[in-house]
Amino acid sequence: MSTTFQLDTATSRANPTPAPMKRLTVPRIRGRKVDGVTADPLVMLTAYTARQAQLLDAHCDLLLVGDSLGQVIYGLPSTVPVTMDMMANHAAAVVRGSYHAVVVVDMPFGAYEASPQLAFESAATLLKASGAAAVKLEGGEAMAETVAFLTQRGIPVMGHVGLTPQAVNMLGGYMARGRSDAEADKIVSDARTLDEAGAFAVVVEGVVEPIAIAVTEAIACPTIGIGASARCDGQVLVTEDMLGMFERVPRFVKKYENIAETIENTVKQYAAEVQDRSFPTAEQTYQPKG
């Protein structure tokens, strides 16, 4: 989406007035890499709610409504059970809460693998329901025909190679990829194929660093690293991971804060004040007039 829009602030705490700003576009994201160089690295974080989007938006080039919401929001064991309705609803909330970043929504497992036609139907449904600008799908060479099919029909696609969480049952876990020569060559080849098929960017996840660098040098579109390399054209993390909402996170996550501790301590203080009747005070209650 490339429109400038103002949120209605009259009825909800969820809609503070943003500074007017024209939303970034997919071509501008793709255009950040010139002759193999991205002078201004791309910043991407996950977002699942309107309020979260509002807090992240001004600082990010892209907001990813990741199927990681299955684990982060719904407590599911993996991303595999995530549904189209989950993705559409959360993506719509993120679009409503943002006005600057390009919003990309993950295609959930089972929504695109069977055929390019199925992928188009799913992508069209997600974009119509949410107003997001692009979809992301996992897989390399096997998905190239689908990527081409979608992009030729006006649906921007972000690719995803390396560690692909939707394929965790095939991969046997979440370990780093690209340690063997054959697997390394396959990852680079997959990225090239997606680039040639029309992907505007490619996420490179959980690969040994030399492979991430090789992929970044091999393709014309930007790479977005996660557990990859600082030499990728941009970076993405799950926001709750980097904020310290969870004790256990992948080793590639840097915890910039410990929000979980802050929340727990705040709730502990609230509970104590309720129990000793020091809350609410006169400031938080309505007194008779006169």
Separation between Cα atoms, residue 161 and residue 185, nearest integer Å:
12
Q: Which helix (H) or strand (E) holds 242?
A: helix 239-242
Residue 161: helix, strand or coil by DSSP? strand
Q: Can you point out the beta strands (E) in the chain?
A: 33-34, 37-38, 42-46, 62-65, 102-106, 134-136, 157-162, 201-205, 223-226, 234-237
Separation between Cα atoms, residue 110 and residue 121, nearest integer Å:
12
AA identity, residue 60: C
Whether residue 136 is annotated as binding a ligand: the answer is: yes
Sign of CA dihedral 93, 56, 161, 42: positive
**Which residue, among 197, 240, 250, has the nearest Cα to 73 in the 3D structure?**
240
Task: Tell me whether strands 157-162 and 42-46 are parallel, antiparallel or unpaired.
Answer: unpaired
Sign of CA dihedral 10, 102, 246, 82: positive
Cα–Cα distances in Å, from 215 out to 27, 183, 202, 289? 21, 13, 9, 70
**Which residue, among 26, 42, 24, 48, has the nearest Cα to 235 in the 3D structure?**
42
- Contact criterion met (CB below 8 Å) for 56 and 239: yes
> Which residue(s) pair with 106 in the sheet?
136
User: Is 205 designated active site?
Assistant: yes
Q: How many whole angstroms from its chain centre is CA 91?
A: 10
Whether residue 12 is annotated as binding a ligand: the answer is: no
Residue in 141, 145, 183, 205 annotated catalytic: 205
Whether residue 278 is annotated as binding a ligand: the answer is: no
Q: Crossing angle, helix 50-57 and helix 84-96, to 10 degrees?
A: 50
Residues annotated in a binding site for Mg(2+): 67, 106, 138
Residues acting as catalytic residues: 205
Residues annotated in a binding site for 3-methyl-2-oxobutanoate: 67-68, 106, 136
Residues annotated in a binding site: 67-68, 106, 136, 138
